[in-house]
Amino acid sequence: MRRSLVGISAAVTSLVAVAFLIPLVVLVGGSVRDRALTEAFGSAVTTGSALAVDRSPQSVEAVIARADRDVGLTSVYLPVAGRAHQEPQIATVIGPGAARVQAVSVMRSARSRVVDTDRGAAVLQPVALSGAAVAVVEVDVPDDVLTQGVTRARLSLAAFALLLVGGSIVLADRLAARVVRSARRLQAASKRLGSGDLAVRVLPEGPDELAQAGRAFNLMADRVGELVVAERELMADLSHRLRTPLAGLVLTGRSLPGLEGDQVRALTTRLQEEVDSIIGEARRPRRPAPVPECDAVEVIRERMDFWGALADDQGRPWSLALPSGRGPMIAPVSAEDLRAVVDALLGNVFLHTGEGCGFEVVLRQGAAVELVVADAGAGIAEPELAVRRGASGAGSSGLGLDIVAKVAQSCGGTLTIGRSRSGGAEITVELPPRWGQL
Ordered by start, the domain boundaries in the chain are 2-148, 152-241, 290-431
Would you tell me which CATH number, out of the four given (3.90.1150.10, 1.10.10.10, 3.30.450.20, 1.10.1740.10), belongs to the domain 2-148?
Answer: 3.30.450.20
Give the CA count within 13 Å in the CB-facing half-sphere of 417: 17
- Is residue 68 a contact partner of residue 74, using CB atoms and an 8 Å limit? yes
Report pLDDT for 397. Answer: 47
Helix (H) or strand (E) holding 219: helix 208-241
- Is residue 160 a contact partner of residue 83, using CB atoms and an 8 Å limit? no
Report pLDDT for 391. Answer: 47
Tell which residue, 26, 20, 30, 27, has the closest CA to residue 161: 20
Instruction: Please give the span between the terminal C-alpha atoms of the chain, in angstroms, as a whole number.
Output: 25
pTM above 0.85, yes or no: no
Same fold, 2-148 and 290-431: no
Report pLDDT for 281. Answer: 63
CATH architecture of 290-431: 2-Layer Sandwich (3.30)
Tell which residue, 87, 121, 120, 117, has the closest CA to residue 104: 87
Instruction: Please state, in angstroms and rounded to a whole number, the distance separating the CA atoms of residues 52 and 128.
Output: 7
Instruction: Please state, in angstroms and rounded to a whole number, the distance separating the CA atoms of residues 367 and 345.
Output: 22
Q: How far is CA 198 from CA 57, 191, 385, in A?
A: 105, 11, 33
Helix (H) or strand (E) holding 328: none
> Which parts of the chain have pLDDT scores under 70?
1-2, 53, 55, 66-72, 82-86, 91, 131, 235-244, 246-251, 253-255, 260, 272, 275-276, 278-291, 325-327, 388-399, 434-438
Instruction: Please state, in angstroms and rounded to a whole number, the distance separating the CA atoms of residues 426 and 432.
Output: 19
Report pLDDT for 436. Answer: 38
Instruction: Please state, in angstroms and rounded to a whole number, the distance separating the CA atoms of residues 107 and 123.
Output: 13
Helix (H) or strand (E) holding 292: none
**Count H helices, E strands: the chain?**
12, 12
Report pLDDT for 435. Answer: 42
Tell which residue, 264, 266, 237, has the closest CA to residue 253: 264
Report pLDDT for 371. Answer: 93
Report pLDDT for 372. Answer: 94
Give the CA count within 13 Å in the CB-facing half-sphere of 239: 19
Residue type, 74: T
